[in-house]
Structure 1
Amino acid sequence: MRRLVTILLAMLIGGGSVAAQELTKRSFGRTADGSEVDLYTLKNGRVEVEITNYGGRIVAVRVPDRSGRVEDIVLGYDSLAEYLSDRAYFGGIIGRYANRIARGRFTLDGVEYKLAQNDGENHLHGGIEGFDKKVWRAEEIKGKGEVGLRLSYVSRDGEEGYPGNLTVNVTYRLRADGGLVIDYEATTDKATVINLTNHAYFNLAGAGHGDVLGHEVMIAADRFTPVDRGLIPTGELRSVEGTPFDFRRPMRIGARIEARDEQLEFGRGYDHNFVLNGRSGTLRLAARVVEPRSGRVLEVYTTEPGIQFYTGNFLDGVRGKGGQAYQRRGAFCLEAQHFPDSPNKPNFPSTVLRPGQRYRQTTVYKFSVRK
């Protein structure tokens, strides 16, 4: 049964046009244990976003190109059943710790914690059943000029090997200016580590519409964190100057992705954390991507110290929406986060959260069109 909540927020945007904010909800199915899952659609007249409370996944983002043609620019699936068996983390909230932790272990306050080794010998994206595989409690929200969804989850002490009962809230807000805001908050009753992000895969030409090598990317980072063969950071903060990782000026993804470079060999392309310029904790422009043919533009703003740039190097043959096979490098990810393996790298920004503290992170995906 479809329930419609129409929020008549008379918002004057460009040219005096009026956009009504709209939020709809429908059943998306049930998990194996019988938990009900819903699919929420957020609209603002220009952008339409679908989010499910299974993993907090961004299922679709529909935006127009310069001629007004609307395409879904996010990779994913048509059904909950497909998401239940997903191994690509399509659109999911990633936690308790996004990215990799070396050898699946870290020491905190003199105690060693052992985690799942689900990426070779390393720990990846929260383990076997990370936050992207949990059913979150959902609450519809509204505000002046925006419509949204607040998702809540309690990760119990010991879940996936992490210490502390962690209470997490993630709020998605679709603004009238085309910005999808993601606010993350968390508290704990015991010292733990935390690193949250979203793992949306974008192709601004349209999901499944070829590779993204022609997309032009700018990343506001003077340095990046080089990795070893297991994609674990070495601890170095290396200058991008003179390397294929220099995106300080717009550069096509495909311009240097096949360059002779050890780091590109390790990642089979770009799969690296960039050290963002500016002060961590302040919302600032981290990246801008332009798809020249359609004119679609994605800007990423974040309060985080880093952003993982991934070019879909392991996508080859993954079947998604409409049964189409997503090709290798058929999407890119820009995952705002703390650095990989920070619990084992004292020189990296800390990811420790203690009782009485509050974890906060904000990332904005802003969609527009270049004429």
Structure 2
Amino acid sequence: MNERRVIVAMSGGVDSSVAAALLKKQGFDVIGVTLKTWGFMEVGGAPKFESGCCSLDAIFDAKNVANVLGIPHYTLDFTKAFEDAVIDNFVEEYLSGRTPNPCVICNRKIKWEELLKKADSLDAKYVATGHYAILDYDEINNRYRLKHSDDNPKDQTYALWGLTQTSLSRTIFPLGNMKKDEVRKIAEELGLKTAKKPDSQEICFVADNNYERFLRERVPDIINNISSGDIIYHGKIIGKHKGFPFYTIGQRRGLGVALGKPVFVKNIDAEQNIIEIGDKEEILEKDVIANDINYVSRTELKAGEIVFGKIRYSDKATPAEVIYADDKKIHIRFIKPKNAITPGQSLVLYDEDNYLLAGGIIARK
């Protein structure tokens, strides 16, 4: 296997463009690839121009950058693998009353596991992406570690907790501890088309950010069989909802009830077809249980130790006590309550030095 050959996953954005440029400058044999994982014909919601990750515009932008850098570029069709691993999971989670994080699944199953298979066929030792994450190797414990940048608001380690040691051993994050403005400056100096391209904000295959539209078009027979149910506030029925899959914990807008004060979705009961709402203080909780655990920088957590946890991408990591932890389940208790802990989202834990310890999918209590 060629130790100097690396496949760079080029999304058509500025980050992966600069990642490829930096690796070439370091003397690597760089091969750019763009993953075609979906199309608007399959997922709907097409804007006037296809500009999101994996869209036609993204593929063309990546190819343009590759031409400027003088590296080969290929488009790989991972549509079937993406649908099986990511889109089906996304739909199943919403139909179970949970709110999924498809980027976590995509990173593990598609951007690494599938891409590494392609790397093998091209005799490439490494894969690289434009993620803002720090990767190092702990020689004492013989383990690859992911570290959250100390001062980078663009840090993306939260979405990388599912990566295995095997995947990390063959990964390069060229941007490491760089800042976004530094990356854009490099792109401008190189004359890359993506230098000023805005960041993608939505989930790639729901480009219009309309999850209700997506679900209704994706599984119309199932959605049409989910009848309107009760909205309950403090034990009393105060209204009707349009279908439990169209709500998420902590949601305030679009509830269709007027109580003269802000209220929020507190619980989604898919089996009973009930949406329970509550006041602001009622969606504050300390305890979180997560399943489907993956340990990253450590091999275990011990009851009683203090870690720092995030419950969503935009969340700030705050102190929590480990109540219980094994290979399948972690139970932590935050020192101060968190707002709207949401089943289906990820619980990601760090130590005091910002190393990512472990992650898992938040479960119902």
Please give the TM-score of this superposition, normalised by the length of structure 1.
0.25
Task: Compare CA radii of gyration and give the structure with the larger one.
Answer: 2
As a proportion of its length, which structure holds more strand? 1
As a proportion of its length, which structure holds more helix? 2
